[in-house]
A and B are shown apart, each in its own frame.
Chain A
Amino acid sequence: MAPNEPLPSRRDFLVQSSRTAAGIGIAAVLGNLGTWALSLGADNEPIKVGVLHSLSGTMAISEVSLKDVVSMAVQEINAKGGVLGRQLKLVVVDPASNWDLFAEKAKQLLVQEKVAVVFGCWTSVSRKSVLPIFEEHNGLLFYPVQYEGEECSKNVFYTGAAVNQQAVPAVEYLMSKEGGSFKKFYLLGTDYVYPKTTNKILRAMLLAKKVPAANIMEEYTPFHHQDYQTIVGKIKKFAAGGGACVISTINGDSNVPFYKEFANQGLRAEDAPIMAFSVAEDELRGMDKTALVGHLAAWNYYQSVDTPQNKQFVANFKAYCKKNNLPDGEKRVTDDPIEAAYFGVHVWKQAVEKAGTTEVNAVRKAVYGQKFLAPGGEIMMDEANHHTNKPVLIGEILKDGQFKVVWRSKGLVKPEPWSEYTNPDKGCDWVNHQGTYKKA
């Protein structure tokens, strides 16, 4: 204030300040009105749904199909009026098979985009790298791929198989009379967490079932390994005299050279079948199947499952791929992770409708015990441990890259995130315990 200017009179001051106050008041009311109007509008605003799958890089081969099926499921739901009267809006990000980028993109989805739920991840590394983000920001992730277990997160629903829903029954089948009463097991895998943990559990299980340690071989190869001469030679020596089988957790592009070498060195599925946990219809699509015929795989779903829902699902997926000009169009196939990704979206939708909100804590509770008629048959979300009760199917590879089911579990198999063989004292329960707990 300049020194010669007269001081404002008291009256002036009062008028001035009341005016200001009124202004603020009106502004506040207007502001409130605005937020209120906005919140009214939000009820009809679309719900944002995140997709976190690699669309480029090494994992694109498997993960692109999952993005496709999630967007198909979202389209289906939107066509039927959406969820809680609101449409779903996909937010697709591409973490490019890069684990650090997975964490970054997950954060982007949760913090910036504020998505209600995320469908995503394939490899265990990618899942492990986004876990802290989901836990910190209380997000919700639906994870659709079979994995090694030993995890129990409050923020993840696992719609793929735990080890006791795939690997363990597969080996039990091979040991059974109808599976061929195999006595020697060659555990062969790619050198990373899923094969190593799975084989640790399988080894403990085989030893518990009185298979002598000399009859169990374990071997790992680097990613992209191409030269299987020595290993197949070893398998041949191991299989001499009969009664041997191979449990394969080989991942990705190493499978083709392995099966080729296996056949070329004169080994056949009849001598020593290969039971694979990572070879599904989608991977077989581009492969030369001649060397693979007769070998086995264990999954919870096959495209060949003969139910009306599945026929519809397969037809829908092919039509969707064709309509949207996706690569290979009508030649696309469905497989286990594709089915798991698909019903994950529907399970979430049912849970949101049950909870009446997309708020994560309410939805989580609503997921427990949720049933859904999936393409492969009815599944049930577990009542406490965040995994899925699913059937187990063992299939034989056919010439056309499809599977013939040779064995099927009786009913649904209850998931065990902590294997009874390696961690008999641990359990996972988010209702009565806080996640992983020690069994009394």
Chain B
Amino acid sequence: MDESRHRMKLFIGIGMIAASLGWFAIGSVAAEAQANVSPSPQVEQALADVSSEVEGTREQAVRLLIEQGDASLLPRMEALRADADRSLRMAIKPVIDIWRNRANLASPDADTRRTAATDLGTNGRPAAIPWLQAAAANESHRWVRYAMEESALLLKLASNNPAGQQQAAAKLGDMRSQNAVPALQALVQAGIDESATAEQKALAQTATAAIERIESWNVWSSAIETLFRGISLSSILLIMSLGLAIVFGLMGVINMAHGELMMIGAYATFVVQECFKLYVPESWFDSYYLAALPAAFLASALFGLILEATVIRFLYGRPLETMLATWGVSLILIQGARMYFGDLTAITAPSWLNGGTQVLVGVFLPFNRLFIIALSILSVIGIYVLLFRSSIGLRVRAVTQNRSMSACLGIPTRKVDAYTFAFGSGLAGIAGWALTLVGNVEPGLGQNYIVDSFMVVVTGGVGKLAGTIIASLGIGGLNKLMEPSLGAVYGKVLILVLVILFLQRRPSGLFAVKGRHAEG
């Protein structure tokens, strides 16, 4: 009892002296010695000093806390912040941030670990270097380890130790770290200065070499990302155009309400989500998205069936009248959706489609995009199998090519028409389902995409699925190729101009017209 009291007194004494000398006096040795004793007296003192009115004392306390405190003190810090004024809250924030990040370096979640590492790297506190190095040594996830090493090196690069800076600059160049470029450029600038020391000049040389390596990698990573974006946009265009290609190409119906069929698919997804929110336990919520797929397909297909039976079947072979009639239907649908659902509703993407994965330094692929690419490939395979490898497909193709002959052979052409149209509409529903991952659900959703879909179908050549696929790849890829230099507005304008020029040369698109149009 006596002894412990004595020790406490001693500690408090040391603490007072230490605090009054400030953290410079304590040095890193003391810091390591105190690392596991919590809360040590000087930490206690610093915790008190943090609320001091004197700014110098406060800053010192913050520094000491960052060096020596750990996450176990977070609750006390939070309590302190709860009833602090604004300036104190601002003073405490870096301490809380750094402790939390330090604790998060050991989090079971890889994203949290990576975030913590990145944050520690940008806040410029050299105290974090050993934490990051220790964490990196035990890290199994490749990109988390990368972030930890990068952050430690960035902190070293920002320190005042030339040897460490030299080494860090070289290593960051090896790592192709994009984040290091601004700091490296600053070093190069410092080396150019006339008053630069030999050390600084050497450092500038290393930095220049590192920047070159990073930049040359940058060209590659940008190219890969552009390619991915092109494919991703192409897959969205493809998914939107498939249904249109079937009704437009195979059946000769210009369906201006196709975009609104997508909208119906999107709203079906929204309705399924709302139902899951209301009637299904929360742990199952993520699966709503899969349940919404058949719902979106069926809702749009059903609507397509109704549309075919009530409007389109009276207008076969009269493309202009179909166009006007379906356009009218589309306007009614838009206003109807606006009245019923209001103007802006959004889908909460299921958690397994949030975020993305890093594949290379600087190349990050979002899951939702990967998902849409996979979906578009599956849709194409599905349509191919249905049209070319099944008896239904055979009938559809037969009716498309020669209606009267097919009728003579006993194919129910009326039914085939209706089902083909419903199938194309269902595909639009799937497109709407997929698009909820990218954008929002609103009455004008279809209008935003319909022009692009028509562009793809017309460019591809009406009636050929292969044309649709190639046209969407071409338009999507070209768009993403031009967008970085031209900007979104002019990129889009130029695409339209190119499509028009292309159609001037090949009015029937990439692939020649077959099907009902060709019959005359």
Binding site for B on A (CB under 8 A): 56, 58, 60-61, 177-178, 191, 219-222, 224-227, 229-231, 233-234, 236-237, 240-243, 253, 256-257, 260-261, 263-266, 268, 270-271, 283, 285-288, 290, 327-328
Q: Which of B479-504 contact A (CB under 8 A)?
A: 480, 483-484, 487-489, 492
Cβ of B335 under 8 Å from chain A = yes
Contacting residue for A60 out of B343, B356, B366, B368, CB 8 A: B343
Contacting residue for A237 out of B178, B338, B347, B369, CB 8 A: B178
Asked, given contacts A221-B488, A229-B229, whether A60 binds B338 with beta carbons under 8 Å apart, the answer is: yes
Task: Quote the shortest CB–CB distance from A269 to chain B (angstroms).
Answer: 11
Task: Quote the shortest CB–CB distance from B125 to chain A (angstroms).
Answer: 13
Report the separation of the CA atoms of residues A260 and B348 in the bound assembly, to the nearest whole angstrom: 10
Q: Is the CB of B342 within 8 A of A225?
A: no
Asked, given contacts A224-B448, A240-B181, A241-B180, whether A234 binds B484 with beta carbons under 8 Å apart, the answer is: yes
Report the separation of the CA atoms of residues A225 and B449 in the bound assembly, to the nearest whole angstrom: 10
Name the residue of chain B whose CB is nearest to the CB of A183: B182
Contacting residue for B489 out of A220, A264, A283, CB 8 A: A220
Main secondary structure of the interface of A (DSSP, over half): loop
Report the separation of the CA atoms of residues A294 and B4 in the bound assembly, to the nearest whole angstrom: 47
Q: Is the CB of B488 within 8 A of A220?
A: yes
Q: Is the CB of B347 within 8 A of A288?
A: yes
Task: Quote the shortest CB–CB distance from A59 to chain B (angstroms).
Answer: 10
Task: Quote the shortest CB–CB distance from B256 to chain A (angstroms).
Answer: 18
Q: Which of B291-344 contact A (CB under 8 A)?
A: 335, 338, 342-344
Q: Is the CB of B354 within 8 A of A263?
A: yes
Q: Is the CB of A264 within 8 A of B115?
A: no
Cβ of B40 under 8 Å from chain A = no
Name the residue of chain A whose CB is nearest to the CB of B492: A222
- Find chain B residues with CB under 8 A from A236 CB: 364
Task: Quote the shortest CB–CB distance from A409 to chain B (angstroms).
Answer: 14
Asked, given contacts A256-B439, A327-B342, whether A242 binds B358 with beta carbons under 8 Å apart, the answer is: no
- Find chain A residues with CB under 8 A from B355 CB: 263-264, 266
Cβ of B367 under 8 Å from chain A = yes
- Find chain B residues with CB under 8 A from A283 CB: 344
Cβ of B122 under 8 Å from chain A = yes
Q: Is the CB of A288 within 8 A of B349?
A: yes
- Find chain B residues with CB under 8 A from A328 CB: 342
Report the separation of the CA atoms of residues A220 and B487 in the bound assembly, to the nearest whole angstrom: 7
- Find chain A residues with CB under 8 A from B456 CB: none
- Find chain B residues with CB under 8 A from A243 CB: 182
Name the residue of chain A whose CB is nearest to the CB of B186: A241
Binding site for A on B (CB under 8 A): 90, 115, 118-119, 122, 178-183, 218, 222, 225-226, 229, 232-233, 236, 335, 338, 342-349, 354-356, 358, 364, 366-369, 438-440, 442, 444, 447-449, 480, 483-484, 487-489, 492
Asked, given contacts A225-B488, A257-B440, whether A56 binds B335 with beta carbons under 8 Å apart, the answer is: yes
Report the separation of the CA atoms of residues A260 and B366 in the bound assembly, to the nearest whole angstrom: 10
Q: Is the CB of B345 within 8 A of A227?
A: no
- Find chain B residues with CB under 8 A from A224 CB: 444, 447-448
Asked, given contacts A191-B489, A283-B344, whether A242 binds B338 with beta carbons under 8 Å apart, the answer is: no
Report the separation of the CA atoms of residues A234 and B180 in the bound assembly, to the nearest whole angstrom: 17
Q: Is the CB of B440 within 8 A of A264?
A: no
Report the separation of the CA atoms of residues A264 and B365 in the bound assembly, to the nearest whole angstrom: 8
- Find chain A residues with CB under 8 A from B179 CB: 240-242
Q: A261-B438, A288-B346 are in contact. List 11 more A-B contacts (CB 8 A).
A: A178-B90, A226-B438, A229-B480, A234-B484, A253-B442, A260-B349, A260-B368, A260-B439, A266-B364, A271-B118, A328-B342
Q: Is the CB of B492 within 8 A of A256?
A: no
- Find chain A residues with CB under 8 A from B483 CB: 230
- Find chain B residues with CB under 8 A from A240 CB: 178-179, 181-182
Asked, given contacts A229-B232, A253-B440, A265-B366, whether A285 binds B118 with beta carbons under 8 Å apart, the answer is: no
Q: Is the CB of A290 within 8 A of B488?
A: no
Asked, given contacts A268-B115, A286-B346, A290-B348, whether A241 binds B183 with beta carbons under 8 Å apart, the answer is: yes
Asked, given contacts A191-B489, A256-B346, A290-B348, whether A265 binds B364 with beta carbons under 8 Å apart, the answer is: yes
Asked, given contacts A56-B335, A191-B489, A286-B343, whether A257 binds B356 with beta carbons under 8 Å apart, the answer is: no
- Find chain B residues with CB under 8 A from A237 CB: 178, 218, 222
Q: Is the CB of A266 within 8 A of B345?
A: no
Q: Is the CB of A253 within 8 A of B489?
A: no
Report the separation of the CA atoms of residues A230 and B122 in the bound assembly, to the nearest whole angstrom: 25
Q: Is the CB of A261 within 8 A of B366?
A: yes
Q: Is the CB of A241 within 8 A of B182?
A: yes
Task: Quote the shortest CB–CB distance from B502 to chain A (angstroms).
Answer: 21
- Find chain B residues with CB under 8 A from A229 CB: 229, 232-233, 369, 480
Report the separation of the CA atoms of residues A243 and B182 in the bound assembly, to the nearest whole angstrom: 10
State the 3 A-B residue pairs at the shortest beta-carbon distance, nearest first.
A286-B344, A61-B343, A264-B366
